[in-house]
Structure 1
């Protein structure tokens, strides 16, 4: 069996419904089947879902006529007959099918899961925050190595005192120089410059975006320590900017370097003001940035928070393309910037992949997982044996996973109740079995009990959520069935029609002989037809063809000559062509070997050769068309066989309900 990638389009391609109109909602509470195929009942909702989905894809609002409805129903029945046959052949039990279906199921369920809605919320929140940039100063107080609880409390008290001092009028920047343990505080006085969402650790970002200009935060705990944050400014996000620059470096080890660099950048700036000066030449001759000096100083596009603050502020202060900044001092030296372009913040759709990637790499992913677990536990009635879990934590956290089983057996904990979720109860032995199954795929021996327990609970709850979806979410049920049946349909068609039609050479020849009347040549002639597009080339073409006899060699010579010298002068068609179906040959005098005719406003030069009467084609001349027709024949024959094999009964009452539902 050959399996190929299946998509939602496959159903439409194979069934080819005559689909028009708008989206259709399934009929709720429907119990009677629309039809039975063999001994399988087919629901009204499945028919409405598939037809309605296709109608929506057409994007029109016209009602479905009775004739179109009947055609769709017949095609739907053919579809269900093929699915029934695929199941009868056991195609749904193969390893290949299960692998492909499981892969699709993972993709299909994702938008319906709790996790997806939580992630979507974080994505939207991040993009909303990105509409604004914030300038903030902070003081960082770190914990001492191996800090005790008393040490942590002391750091917190100090942070609270600093907050009080700032609120009483002290400068956060002065206090940062004196107290902050951020190494950059001695140079930037705690001023972080402007930043936007996803550029700071999450707790810091959350606190900063909750503050108004001038407000001071409570102590904010991050992995670095406690922060006191004061917002200095908030403004709309200016988007992205691209600049080119000239750099004159400063060697901090040379006391004279600063003065020399300052004088040099001043001279360069003066030179740039001259109207005859070329920016690119100045950059090439004087810039000390080896990465950009040979490229006109051009830097990639960047947004707020991606460059050092002094450089960034100078770049975003430029307003007109080509505008040049005064010299700017950074820790790298002195710069002169020229604005090359500005553009607004990208749309959510453009930024979504980047936002998602960052969110899933930082602490937000853990937060999303915790929220997901909390919602699942509430939804599925998760109840934990807290006393037992406490004993397991104490006994198993100090050891690695391979040693869990021995400790559990020693303490006879295997059959004890661990937790319940949904209507199921899980024992410690179930937990051990989960670890055993997972360790065959994961190298996770170093993970402690807490991590394994969290993973086990997540696995159980995720399984419950998926089963809940499959049982109670009608849209997901329909989508899952569509893909399952679509893969089976594809597999059956590949086996019984497509591959057979390609590989069965004897069947092709027999079909060709039995339907020879379909493969007939009309009257034909050898011809070279030249459509003149450039009248300046007419005489040269005319002289090459007039008084000549048609041959393939002459046709190829003509094509080669003008393809090389004047490729747009002519459109050329040559070979043995059917006369009635050719718009030029059907209007020429077949008794003249060379002639010129005007058709649809264009002059055509026509050179004729031998003519051939109408007659049958050879198999080799039409093999591709025969294969296509043979495959259609095999499909029709398959449907005929299946209709005899699987009796179809239609519930006329439910059928009428379907027609009404599709036209509401």
Structure 2
């Protein structure tokens, strides 16, 4: 490649004349491609640090820089920058580099604080569940369940003869998980699906919600009470197991044993030893009955948890209390309030980003991005898809077949225009993981599509906004191309050209001569002469192998 044909150096004294690029003038053009002052300075300072005793002069470094760029231009001439392997490697580096710039920590922090505040309160709730019946639902599929839920709600709120919530739950609810119909017990944030959680936090004690739809169906929620969070308790228990096959007399016998152990504890007996001697929970009994830390969300019977939270002083223990599993004597070992926000923040953010609160987060992110990036939705094709989703589920073959007829620009983000085909490809990439209503699912998937394109537009603008991103991104780009062209033109050719290698070796044999004698053999250490003789015999027999 002719260096003079591709290189033109802009005189430093001419910087002031470059009015269009006053802040970052072009200092070199290589093969017609401009190199700005900031790019050159970035590479120069990175490779010639102030403490480097071998620091190159500016002129010397410019020659090295030009040679480097010429090799990159040669790679482009060979179209190595369009190769699938290059594009995959570079896009991977660039995505990693862009990730910190694309994070919306403001939206994440706002939601995290909202849910942390909710964690400061426990709510006692019951519910009635009217199930939907299948996973992929059209709006018409929800009507029967909604009407049934509304009828139940009317019975509960009838001014003259209201039906008791417990009786209604026993008669109508599909959730029969507790002995007390509909009762969920004490709960807090991040324990239940998002629509249920949002609805229950909006209630006052004694209030009954209108039907609330989740992926499980329609819920009618009763809020019994609210209280400050009980925090965390480290507890132990001694368990006296019962089962459904026992007679009342046998159950009484188990209680009598529990009561006898309780009396030994009151008299000063060793709790840990009594747990080992009597507890039917073999795992905890081996550790003196210790269960570990529990909070309101722990997977234990509600009455067991409430008994453990009722203990106020360390070393206090309960009287024998009953659950479906038997009788328990629970002891408090340690107590502490909920963790501070700084400790729980990573856990809460992860829950929001990967749980069903993700939709709320996406909405906040879209709002923030649209303040700096223009997005325009073509309402006509969107409304046509929305209308189609009333009769076909988005992503199904029937939906996709009919949607192919809607051939119009769909969305414009910044300077990029996306068609309905682009959205349909996005739609096909993911199936609903839980029950979803078609129209709502389409809208949620569109918001995800919009967010992805807004983030892409933001990524495309990173180089213009952040010089450090631009410089490092260019360095990755050029570095990968340099490696690829050197590998193709030098290293691979050298490996395969054995004739040239032999000629070179013959002409430069003196360079490959040792300056001191070299020896090839074994160093063997033996404890005595007899062992040495055996070693020499083994070496002699295996010579040449």
TM-score band w.r.t. shorter chain: 0.5 to 0.7
User: Aligned to 1:381, what secondary structure does the other structure show?
Assistant: strand
- What's 1:159 paired with? 153
Once residues 334 and 204 of structure 1 are traced to their aligned partners in structure 2, the CA distance between those partners, rounded to angstroms, is: 33
- Correspondence for 1:479 among 458, 465, 469: 469
Which of 303, 310, 313 pairs up with 2:306? Answer: 313
Distance 1:261 1:344, change over 3 A: same
Preserved CA contact (<8 Å) 2:239 2:279: yes
How much does 1:463 deviate?
3.4
The question of whether the paired residues in 2 share the 8 Å contact of 1:123 and 1:356 is answered with: yes
Is the 8 Å Cα contact of residues 115 and 372 (structure 1) preserved in structure 2? yes
Distance 1:157 1:44, change over 3 A: farther
Aligned to 1:232: 225
Give the equivalent residue in structure 2 for 1:264.
Answer: 257
Equivalent in the alignment of 2:521? none
Once residues 81 and 347 of structure 1 are traced to their aligned partners in structure 2, the CA distance between those partners, rounded to angstroms, is: 55
Q: How far does the alpha carbon of each residue in 1:56-109 deviate from its partner, in whole angstroms, 9 at most, with x for none?
A: xxxxxxxxx9999x9799699799668635623527555444323322333344
Counterpart for residue 123 of structure 2: 135
In structure 1, which of residues 212, 219, 228 is the aligned counterpart of residue 210 of structure 2?
Answer: 219
In the TM superposition, residue 325 of structure 1 has moved relative to its aligned partner by 3.2
> CA–CA distance in 2 between the matches of 1:178 and 1:315?
29
Q: 1:88 aligns with which of 67, 73, 94?
A: 73
TM-superposed deviation, 1:479: 2.0
Q: 1:103 and 2:92 equivalent?
A: yes
Whether contact under 8 Å (1:143, 1:152) holds in the other structure is no
> Partners of 2:164 and 2:478 in 1: how far apart?
70
The equivalent residue for 1:384 is 379
Q: TM-score if structure 1 supplies the norm length?
A: 0.54
Aligned mates of 1:351, 1:77 — CA distance in 2? 52
- The C-alpha deviation readout for 1:251-308, integer Å capped at 9, x for no partner, is 3442223322221111111223444x44333222211113323333232433222132
> Which residue of 329, 338, 341 maps to 1:345?
338
Instruction: Could you tell me which runs of 5 or more consecutive residues in structure 1 were left unpaired when the two chains were aligned.
Output: 1-28, 55-64, 517-551, 557-664
**CA positional deviation for 1:466:** 1.7
- Greater shift, 225-234 or 416-425, is seen at 416-425
- CA shift for structure 1 position 491: 7.7
Change (3 A) 1:73 1:262: farther
> 1:380, CA displacement in angstroms?
0.8
| CA deviation string 1:550-587 (max 9, x = no partner) | xx99xx9xxxxxxxxxxxxxxxxxxxxxxxxxxxxxxx
Aligned to 2:293: 301
Contact 1:243 1:341 in 2 (8 A): yes
Whether contact under 8 Å (2:130, 2:145) holds in the other structure is: no
TM-score (norm 2): 0.64
Uncovered stretches (5+) of structure 2, i.e. residues with no partner: 1-20, 134-139, 496-500, 515-523, 528-545
CA–CA distance in 2 between the matches of 1:294 and 1:141? 41
Separation in structure 1 between the aligned mates of residue 294 and residue 63 of structure 2, nearest angstrom:
57
Cα 1:243–1:428 change in 2 (3 A) is closer
Match of 2:169 among 180, 189, 195: 180
Match of 1:125 among 104, 114, 118: 114
| CA-atom RMSD in angstroms | 5.5
In 2, distance between residues paired with 1:94 and 1:117?
Answer: 38
Q: Kindly tell me: are residues 417 and 251 of structure 1, through their superposed partners in 2, closer, same or farther at Cα, counting changes over 3 Å?
A: closer
Question: Aligned-pair distance for 1:44?
Answer: 5.7
* Cα separation, 2, equivalents of 1:177 and 1:247: 30
1:200, distance to aligned residue in structure 2 (A): 1.9
Instruction: Give secondary structure in 2 for the equivalent of 1:311.
Output: helix
Shift of 1:328: 2.6
Equivalent residue, structure 1, for 2:537 = none
**Does residue 1:206 correspond to 2:201, yes or no?**
no
Aligned-partner Cα distance in 1 for 2:114–2:190:
11
Report the Cα offset of residue 199 of structure 1. Answer: 0.8
Secondary structure of the corresponding residue to residue 358 of structure 1: helix
Q: Does the C-alpha gap of structure 1 residues 337 and 237 become closer, same or farther in structure 2, counting only changes over 3 Å?
A: closer
**Aligned 8 A contact 1:156 1:226 in 2:** no
1:398-413 equivalences in 2 (<5 Å)? 413=405
Residue 312 of structure 1, CA deviation:
1.8
Provide Cα deviations, 1:505-546, integer angstroms capped at 9, x if missing partner.
x99xx9x989x9xxxxxxxxxxxxxxxxxxxxxxxxxxxxxx
* CA displacement at 1:113 relative to structure 2: 4.1
- Residue 467, structure 1, aligned to residue 457, structure 2: yes
1:71/1:485 Cα in 2 relative to 1: closer, same or farther (>3 Å)? Answer: same
1:366-409 CA distances to partner (integer Å, 9 max, x unpaired)? 34445656777894122221587159717982797556676577
The 3 A distance-change label for structure 1 pair 32 and 424 is: closer
Residue 334 of structure 1 is aligned with which of 321, 327, 330?
A: 327
Deviation at 1:201, TM superposition (A): 2.0
